[in-house]
Chains A and B, each alone.
Chain A
Amino acid sequence: MDLDRLRQEAEDCWRIEPAGAMRVPGILYANSDLVRAMDDKVYEQICNVAALPGIVAASYAMPDAHWGYGFPIGGVAAFDPEQGGVVSAGGVGFDISCGVRTLVTGLKRADIEAKRERLADTLFAAIPAGLGSTGAIRLRGGEMDAMLAGGAKWAVRRGWGRPEDLDYTEEGGCMAGAVPGEVSEQARRRQRDEMGTLGSGNHYLEVQEVVAIHDTTAAEAFGLAVGDIVVSIHCGSRGLGHQIGTEFLRSMAMAAPRHGISLPDRELACAPIRSPLGESYLGAMRAGINCALANRQILTHLARHAFERVLPQADLQVLYDVSHNTCKEEEHEVDGKPVRLFVHRKGATRALGPGHPQLPPAYREVGQPVLIGGSMGTASWILAGTRESEQRAFSSACHGAGRAMSRRKATKQWHGRQVIDELAARGILIRSQSYRGVAEEAPGAYKDVDAVVESAETAGLARKVARLAPLICVKG
């Protein structure tokens, strides 16, 4: 992206003046190198989102932004239902409520050193990963409805977890307003055998080591110290979410003329929040969020069992569970007044600042943990929400490194076997059913996650707490 098309507002903050159909400006948070490396399509997508009905304040892009579907990945946009605001299936994404859950283990690096290979193999056997893998749980009829309404709360009730896990999961583990009846038979059928599965693509379960602490107060509140071993799970709502996304993308695109919405790109398909279709999507999408929360809860249970077999002294506790593909109704201050807005975060993480009432008491002083997944050879990060983030982008931050290279290009540049061997030489164990899948996710295919996180901090979106280095990666 050409910097000349942007006006610098502050360090790592760039503005696109409203032009043409744009109702609000575009705001892009990133350093100049990251901006220059971004596709022009990101610029176009920020502007397109800024033209949607009822958008409030600005169309935002996070430092890890890249070309997405209608909305950029790394896009944040809030809509006011009283101003004709819309909800967009593309603005949430196909993998509804994809997110990261991080668990502390009570273990230090030295505790796992001798058992690393066995732990990797045990986790790979315990965690269904990749295409064709199915979970041990089969959901039928009423049980599917209970899962869609109850989320992680349902999973804990069924014995897959501990009640305290829910205190450290967004929404207390259960998204309110889910309407299972809005979830189609096809979506249910796609999910029947997929509870407790990781999926594929960029999804993973990683064992990581805390290698640096940048904020000791927040790290202490989160229970993190240098040398600690943590587990991070990155996945979403599986086939059910994909099917809901596909179906509503189609119906919103087809209904747009009826709603008087002209779409510069069909992928921006949306419906007024206050319309039968908008409400129907919100009910289904929230059920999809519950599916993702339940899924990560079941995977937590499976990871606990795997650790028990190899390292019985481990105690896996949920640090936090946060989604980065959602649309949530939230209260924000606009022009000094509290307003209920529908905030889309597509590849962006909610980042509530200190004092926010939705935070668990243990984190209230320091802000919400913001879990950033990196690539399998570099690093992941734990950040904390800031007070300024509310003003910057409705309390939002980046979600990952962001891809720098297409899958196609990555498979030409690397071979999976070679990536696995090189990482093994650096002490990182990869377990995957697909060499090509590994090549597509090669660390070099991603942006520099450290630069992304640095920009998020400079821009005031979130502040750095801990850097995590991968030791074992079960790749979906």
Chain B
Amino acid sequence: MNLNARKANTGQGSWEHFSHAADIGVRGFGDTPEQAFEQAALALTAVVTPPERVQPREAVDIRCRNPDPELLLFDWLNALIYEMAVRQMLFSRFEVHIEGAQLQARAWGEPLEPARHRPAVEIKGATFTELKLAQDASGRWVAQCVVDV
């Protein structure tokens, strides 16, 4: 099933895409919820272009707040989609810290260059469909949802 999956550089987390009738699902795996959030963000970039094509040259700070951890994931991905849209940037490195309802993160990336990044599609929004933050049997965290493109 993990045909679109890549291992992260750290060798710990990983991400993959999953199928949805009209759109595409992003899924991150990690030892902690934070790492799963970071990997889901990489999967998000990969909807547009292979993350390895994106140089982590500029940093953007992101904050979200939501007492529901799954909605916090929804907010995190939508915050990234917003930053991608208004800054015309793509991101390839993420650092997420979660304390209770508060998420603080830094995303590194670079301005979008259509000729080099060859973006496949623009993301409209992260959705509640298949939205899940959970631990699998082996204790690994999974963070996922379908994104509308």
Binding site for B on A (CB under 8 A): 39, 41, 66-70, 73, 90, 93-95, 130-134, 186, 189-190, 192, 199-201, 239, 242-243, 245-246, 249-250, 253-254, 265-267, 269, 403, 406-409, 412, 433-437, 440
Contact for A406 among B19, B112, B117, B129, CB less than 8 A: B19
Provided the pairs A41-B21, A254-B71 are in contact, do residues A265 and B128 lie with their beta carbons within 8 angstroms? yes
Are A200 and B21 in contact, with the CB atoms below 8 A?
no
Are A250 and B114 in contact, with the CB atoms below 8 A?
no
Are A39 and B21 in contact, with the CB atoms below 8 A?
yes
Are A242 and B124 in contact, with the CB atoms below 8 A?
yes
CA distance A95 to B23 in the complex (A): 13
Provided the pairs A249-B128, A267-B128, A269-B128 are in contact, do residues A408 and B121 lie with their beta carbons within 8 angstroms? no
15 new A-B pairs (CB below 8 Å) besides A200-B120, A407-B121?
A132-B113, A132-B114, A242-B148, A245-B124, A245-B125, A246-B124, A249-B128, A266-B131, A403-B21, A408-B19, A433-B114, A434-B118, A434-B120, A434-B121, A436-B121
How many B residues touch A, CB cutoff 8 Å?
Answer: 39
Most buried by B among A66, A94, A440: A94
CA distance A435 to B118 in the complex (A): 8
CA distance A412 to B17 in the complex (A): 13
13 A-B residue pairs with CB within 8 Å: A69-B146, A94-B124, A131-B48, A190-B82, A192-B86, A200-B119, A200-B122, A201-B121, A250-B74, A406-B19, A412-B3, A434-B119, A440-B121
Q: How far is the CB of B111 from chain A (nearest CB, A)?
A: 9
Are B120 and A440 in contact, with the CB atoms below 8 A?
yes
Provided the pairs A132-B112, A199-B122, A436-B120 are in contact, do residues A190 and B23 lie with their beta carbons within 8 angstroms? no
Are A67 and B114 in contact, with the CB atoms below 8 A?
no
Are B129 and A267 in contact, with the CB atoms below 8 A?
yes
- Find chain B residues with CB under 8 A from A435 CB: 118
Provided the pairs A254-B71, A408-B4 are in contact, do residues A69 and B118 lie with their beta carbons within 8 angstroms? no
Nearest chain-A residue to B112 (Cβ)?
A132
Between A and B, how many residue pairs show CB distances below 8 Å? Answer: 126
> Is B78 at the interface (CB under 8 A from chain A)?
yes
Provided the pairs A406-B20, A408-B24, A434-B119 are in contact, do residues A94 and B114 lie with their beta carbons within 8 angstroms? no
CA distance A266 to B74 in the complex (A): 12
The 7 closest A-B pairs by CB, nearest first: A436-B120, A67-B21, A131-B119, A406-B19, A266-B128, A242-B124, A131-B122
Binding site for A on B (CB under 8 A): 3-4, 17-24, 48, 71, 74-75, 78, 81-82, 85-86, 88, 112-114, 117-122, 124-129, 131, 146, 148-149
CA distance A199 to B148 in the complex (A): 13
Q: How far is the CB of B67 from chain A (nearest CB, A)?
A: 10
Are A131 and B114 in contact, with the CB atoms below 8 A?
yes
CA distance A200 to B119 in the complex (A): 10
Are A407 and B122 in contact, with the CB atoms below 8 A?
no
Are B128 and A69 in contact, with the CB atoms below 8 A?
yes
Nearest chain-A residue to B47 (Cβ)?
A407
Contact for B148 among A66, A94, A186, A437, CB less than 8 A: A94
Are A407 and B23 in contact, with the CB atoms below 8 A?
yes
Are B21 and A406 in contact, with the CB atoms below 8 A?
yes
- Find chain B residues with CB under 8 A from A134 CB: 88
Are A437 and B121 in contact, with the CB atoms below 8 A?
yes
Nearest chain-B residue to A416 (Cβ)?
B120
Are B85 and A190 in contact, with the CB atoms below 8 A?
yes
Provided the pairs A69-B148, A246-B125, A250-B71 are in contact, do residues A436 and B21 lie with their beta carbons within 8 angstroms? no
Nearest chain-A residue to B23 (Cβ)?
A407
Are A250 and B75 in contact, with the CB atoms below 8 A?
yes
Are B149 and A186 in contact, with the CB atoms below 8 A?
no
- Find chain A residues with CB under 8 A from B86 CB: 186, 189-190, 192
CA distance A246 to B64 in the complex (A): 14
Q: How far is the CB of A54 from chain B (nearest CB, A)?
A: 22
